[in-house]
Amino acid sequence: MNYKAVGGDLSLDFINTANNRYNQFYQELCMDTSALVNWAKESTHFIDLKIKGSGISIEEIRLLRDTMFNILNSIHHKEDVSRKDIILFNKWLYEAHRGIDICQNDEEKVSVKHLDGQGVFIILYPIVRSFYHLLKSNQTIKQCSSTNCDWFFIDKTKNQNKQWCSMQLCGNREKARKFYKNKKIDIEGVEKW
C-alpha cells in the first residue's frame, strides 16, 4: 500500500492505514499485528517502542480503526453517527483512560503517568486518546478531494484551502486528470491506484 503519514495527528495517521475501505479500490496496511507495530515504530508519534505479544486480534484492531473512520466520515458528511460506532468507541475511550495517573515528585512537580498495559494496547490507547482530543478540538479536519482516496488530514494551511492529503500522492494525479480531461484525452485506462 502506498502509505504516507499525512494526517497531522496520530489518530488520523492510524485511520489512514486503510484506504477506499468501502469500494473495490480497498487498500490495507494492517495485514496483521506486526504490520501495525512496524507502522508505529516508523511513525514519529512513538519513541523507543517495545511491544511484547499482541493481546488483541487484527480484526478487533481494524474494527476500532474503521469505527473511528465511520465517526469522522459521518461528521464530515453531516450525517448521524451510528449508535453502534459510538458505543464501541466509548468502550475503548474508557479503557484508554484507566491507565492514567497523576503523580507529584520531590520537587513538587505534577506529571501524568500513562500505564498502557501490554501488547499493542501501548499503541492503541494513545491513538484512542488522540482521537478524543481531536474531536474536542476546533482544528479543521478535511477529507482528501481525490475520487480514489478517502484519507483524512488536518488542514494547517493559513488559508485553509488544502484539498488533497498530499500533493505527491493525490494532488499531482488529480491535476493531471483535470489537465487531460480538459484536453479530452481519456487516461482512465492508464491510471494506477
Cβ atoms 81, 71 nearer than 8 A: yes
Interface with Zn ion includes 11 (CB under 5 A)? Answer: no
Q: Which of 15, 36, 127, 144 binds Zn ion (CB under 5 A)?
A: 144
Based on the shown chain and the rule CB under 5 A, indicate whether residue 146 belongs to the binding site for Zn ion. yes
Task: In angstroms, give the least distance from the CB of 145 to Zn ion.
Answer: 8
CA distance 83 to 85: 5
Smaller CB separation from Zn ion, 20 or 43: 20
Site for Zn ion in 150-169 (CB under 5 A): 151, 165
- Separation of alpha carbons 125 and 116, rounded Å: 7
Nearer to Zn ion, 90 or 172 (CB): 172
* Cβ-proximal residues to 37 (8 Å cutoff; 6+ apart), any chain: 49, 51, 120, 123
Q: Is 127 in the site for Zn ion (CB under 5 A)?
A: no
Amino acid at residue number 34: S
**Cα–Cα distances in angstroms (integers) from residue 187 to residues 64, 167, 173, in the given order:** 37, 19, 11
Based on its alpha-carbon atoms, the radius of gyration of the chain, rounded to whole angstroms, reads 19
Q: Of 68, 72, 122, 149, which one interacts with Zn ion (CB under 5 A)?
A: 149
The nearest distance, CB 172 to Zn ion, in angstroms, is 11
Min. distance of Cβ 82 from Zn ion in angstroms? 24
Q: C-alpha angle 64/54/65, rounded to 5°?
A: 15
Build a one-symbol-per-residue string for 81-120: x at contacts with Zn ion by CB under 5 A, - elsewhere.
----------------------------------------
**26, 20 Cβ separation under 8 angstroms:** yes
Least CB distance to Zn ion at residue 146 (A)? 5
Q: Which residues pair with 110 in a beta bridge?
A: 104
| Smallest gap from residue 177 Cβ to Zn ion (A) | 13
- When asked if residue 170 is in the footprint of Zn ion (CB under 5 A), the reply is yes
State the Cα–Cα distance between residues 55 and 62, nearest whole angstrom: 14
Residue (17 or 146) nearer to Zn ion, CB: 146
By CB under 5 A, name the binding residues for Zn ion: 144, 146, 149, 151, 165, 170
